[in-house]
Amino acid sequence: MHNSGIFIGWRLLFTGLEGGLKLTPPRDDKHVVANLFPRNGLRICGPLLAGLVLAGCGGGFDPNGVVESRPVRLDGEQVVLDLGQVECGAREDLWTISRLDESRSVGRLTQKGRDLQFSDDVQIGDPGIGVPYVQIHGSFPVKVMRMGTILDEDGYTKLANARAGVKIAHSCFPNPLTLMGIRHGQFDQSTPPIFRLKLDADWHVDQVIH
């Protein structure tokens, strides 16, 4: 196919711009190019062409999209609860709360709680953590709250430090539960987890590492 049809389409696009181009029949390809890029029109054409080139180059690597694109396997990770969620879980028979001492309690999981892929009793009043938390085991949708640093291990592996929440399909948890990272060998609510991203056919979360 001859390129003149493409050039005419471009010329129609530019018609009407300030100091615009006149649509005149091209005599040859050199004439078309000269009409498309007059000396006083470069300031108009340059930014527009740059935008079109960028639009055609694809979005590139999107770490948020990679983490959120499919459920992530989380084995033995801990998520944060607030007191309202603890009380809601007790009302909904996800766990039963027992006092251990004056400052600590535990929410013992029921089968309904385990069916949601909680895997160990809810811990309440642990001075080392400071907030209620519970262990999870399974594959969960993950929501990125804030993406941090991303480091390349090699051409096929990246480490993404990200504040993220785990989505639990129950009315007690309308918002994602914050996933804890590890600090000094202990789970810590202020430390974001590290997601290892792998490139096979596409980018995906390989695992959460500590």
3-state secondary structure 9-40: HHHHHHCCCCCCCCCCCCCCHHHHHHHHCCHH
49 shares its domain with 87: no
Query: For the segment 15-44, what is each residue's pLDDT rounded down to a tens digit?
Result: 444 444 444 454 554 444 344 344 444 444
Number of domains in the chain: 2
180, two tokens: 């804890």
Reduced 3-state DSSP string for 136-203:
EEEEECEEEEEEEEEEEEECCEEEEEEEEEECCCCCCCCCCEEECEEECCEEECCCCCEEEEEECCCE
Query: For the segment 38-96, what is each residue's pLDDT rounded down to a tens digit?
Result: 444 444 444 443 333 333 344 579 999 999 999 999 999 999 999 999 999 999 999 99
11 shares its domain with 70: no
Domain that holds residue 48: 4-55
187 shares its domain with 104: yes
| Weakest-pLDDT range from 5-9, 113-117, 151-155, 163-167 | 5-9
CA distances from 22 to 52, 151, 152, 189 (A): 22, 51, 51, 64
82 shares its domain with 41: no
152 shares its domain with 172: yes
Query: For the segment 136-190, what is each residue's pLDDT rounded down to a tens digit?
Result: 999 999 999 999 999 999 999 999 999 999 999 999 999 999 999 999 999 999 9
User: What pLDDT score does 210 carry?
Assistant: 80
134 shares its domain with 71: yes
168 shares its domain with 92: yes
183 shares its domain with 121: yes
97 shares its domain with 178: yes
Q: Which of 55, 82, 98 is the last residue of a domain?
A: 55
194 shares its domain with 172: yes
67 shares its domain with 40: no
pTM, full prediction: 0.70
43 shares its domain with 139: no
